A and B are shown apart, each in its own frame.
Chain A
Amino acid sequence: MKTKKILLTILGIGIVAAGILFAADHADSPTITGKTTDITDVYAFQSPTTSTNMVFVMNTQGLLTPAATGAASFDNNTMIELNIDNNGDNVEDLVVQCVFNNGTMYVYGPVKPSSTGSKSIVEGTSSISVGVTPYGQTAVIASQNSYLAFAGPRDDPFFFDLDQYKKIIAGTATSFNSPGNDTFKGTNVMSIVLEFPKSLLGATTGKVNVWAEAKRKI
């Protein structure tokens, strides 16, 4: 019993119907599950169209069914923040802050934060702003000075046969199926996509460390 409990705890007990389902980072803790501060995934890659640019994707509010997506929104009290460490000490040297006001996303930075750590204020002046794309409409893209911004619902790009993994962890299966079944098939996320020149990252060693934080107004 104890072993089983521990095993289940490794992944958490996923109850899809209730929306409690643990994945890339989807609903990874009960505290943030179902909230606008739940980050599901972070992506960082060189722009496929402009090699001098970097693209950052920060997805939130995962496992949205098509029926639930229209009502999903970004929260005026939530900041989604990209943290950038450019000298290898895992402390943010620059931040890119995404904050929302009545259907518009305002992006601040990359900018040196006035203090590091778990509390932030919005820094400096806005680099770019973009209207949040409504569900079912063509993507609204803001673009200025090689800086592009998007916010709105998108297909969740994450894929994983999470259900089978849970069975393996629970001891009711011994291997994955072939082919597997993507547990995230047909679900959406509230996505933030930013693209800007790599030169803004302040990298001197050919690399940076990044992570996303979701912060709530206190």
Chain B
Amino acid sequence: MKKYSTLLRSAALMLSLAFLFSACKKDTTTATVNLFAGFTYQTEDQMARPAINTVFNAAADKDAFNTTIPSAMGAAFQSKFQAKLLGLNPAYTTNALGLSANAFTTLLATDVLTVSTTGTTTFFDGTNVLTGRALGDDVIDTELLLIFGGTTGASNPGLTSDKVSANDKTFLTTFPYLATPW
């Protein structure tokens, strides 16, 4: 297996070099060399919505959650998520979105982020819900509210916000938007 992989790698490298060489000879400046041909890559981590694996999965399930394809996640994790939700908030009936424990955990167990291509993109901005995730969105407060806040969002007031409402650096107004590193 290893030998095969090495062979493939050598072949890919030779092809790349050959292509590069011929490209140079033809003075083609736009030629794209695929440095990565012949390799296979396998999933070790995946995520979409923030903190889902962290909050809802027991240690034994974390690797599985990180490597289960999203279309299979609901069947694999919904019931465990529901048990975890009711463990975190035994009084849960519905949340501010009107979702039952079953409906809420069905939504969360399939870890994809829905993004509007035609309108506002936000995790929650007071009006729009789960239409994307902007840098400044207070996603943790949104999740705490939906887990602990009850039907109106007014339950457990000490648990529905972490009282950290903004990033520690100001975001940029232009690409790449994220602030410079510390």
Chain A contacts to B: CB under 8 angstroms: 6, 9-12, 22-25, 28-32, 35, 37-39, 41-49, 54-55, 57, 64-66, 69, 78-79, 81, 83, 85, 89-91, 99, 101, 106, 116-122, 125-126, 135-136, 139, 141, 148, 150, 153-155, 157-161, 164-165, 168, 174-182, 184-188, 191, 193, 195, 198, 201, 203, 206-218
Known: A168-B159, A179-B164. 14 other contacts (CB 8 A): A12-B54, A29-B45, A44-B115, A45-B135, A46-B116, A125-B34, A150-B176, A155-B178, A159-B138, A160-B164, A179-B163, A184-B168, A209-B48, A209-B70
Residues of A within 8 A of B48 (CB): 42, 209-212
Q: Is the CB of A155 within 8 A of B181?
A: yes
**Once bound together, how far apart are the Cα atoms of A165 and B48, in whole Å?**
21
Q: Among the listed A11, A182, A208, A216, which residue makes an inter-chain contact with B42, where contact means beta carbons less than 8 Å apart?
A: A216
Q: B84-96 CB contact bits vs A (8 Å, 1 = yes)?
A: 1001100000000
**Once bound together, how far apart are the Cα atoms of A109 and B67, in whole Å?**
22
Residues of A within 8 A of B131 (CB): 207
Select the stretch in B21-29, B55-63, B97-105 that faces chain A. Answer: B55-63
Minimum distance in angstroms from A140 CB to a CB of chain B:
10
Interface residue tally on B, bucketed by range: 35 or more
Q: Is the CB of A122 within 8 A of B171?
A: no
Q: Is the CB of B158 within 8 A of A175?
A: yes
**Once bound together, how far apart are the Cα atoms of A2 and B8, in whole Å?**
51
Q: Is the CB of A217 within 8 A of B40?
A: yes
Given contacts A154-B176, A217-B41, is CB(A28)–CB(B162) below 8 Å? no
Q: Is the CB of B44 within 8 A of A155?
A: no
B161 at the interface (CB under 8 A from A): yes
Given contacts A32-B45, A119-B40, A122-B39, is CB(A44)–CB(B113) below 8 Å? yes
Q: Is the CB of A215 within 8 A of B133?
A: no
Q: Is the CB of B117 within 8 A of A198?
A: yes
B78 at the interface (CB under 8 A from A): no
Residues of A within 8 A of B10 (CB): none
Give 9 closest A-B pairs by Cβ, nearest first: A175-B158, A215-B41, A180-B163, A211-B48, A29-B62, A150-B176, A209-B112, A193-B176, A154-B178
Q: Among the listed A12, A116, A121, A212, which residue makes an inter-chain contact with B47, where contact means beta carbons less than 8 Å apart?
A: A212
Chain B contacts to A: CB under 8 angstroms: 32, 34-37, 39-48, 50-55, 58-59, 62-63, 66-67, 69-71, 73, 84, 87-88, 110-122, 131-136, 138-140, 157-159, 161-169, 171, 173-182
Residues of B within 8 A of A32 (CB): 44-45, 66
**Once bound together, how far apart are the Cα atoms of A35 and B181, in whole Å?**
19
Q: Among the listed B115, B169, B171, B178, which residue makes an inter-chain contact with A207, where contact means beta carbons less than 8 Å apart?
A: B115
**Once bound together, how far apart are the Cα atoms of A55 and B115, in whole Å?**
11
Can you give 23 A-B contacts (C-beta < 8 A)? A9-B59, A10-B84, A25-B54, A28-B45, A42-B113, A45-B133, A48-B177, A57-B177, A90-B70, A90-B73, A116-B69, A118-B43, A122-B37, A153-B181, A157-B171, A168-B159, A175-B159, A182-B164, A193-B176, A193-B177, A206-B117, A211-B113, A213-B43
Q: Is the CB of A29 within 8 A of B63?
A: yes
Q: Is the CB of A150 within 8 A of B115?
A: no
**Once bound together, how far apart are the Cα atoms of A30 and B59, in whole Å?**
9
Q: Is the CB of B113 within 8 A of A91?
A: no
Q: Is the CB of B47 within 8 A of A39?
A: yes
**Once bound together, how far apart are the Cα atoms of A161 and B110, in whole Å?**
26
Residues of A within 8 A of B178 (CB): 57, 154-155, 157, 191, 193
Minimum distance in angstroms from A199 CB to a CB of chain B:
9
**Once bound together, how far apart are the Cα atoms of A178 and B162, in whole Å?**
8
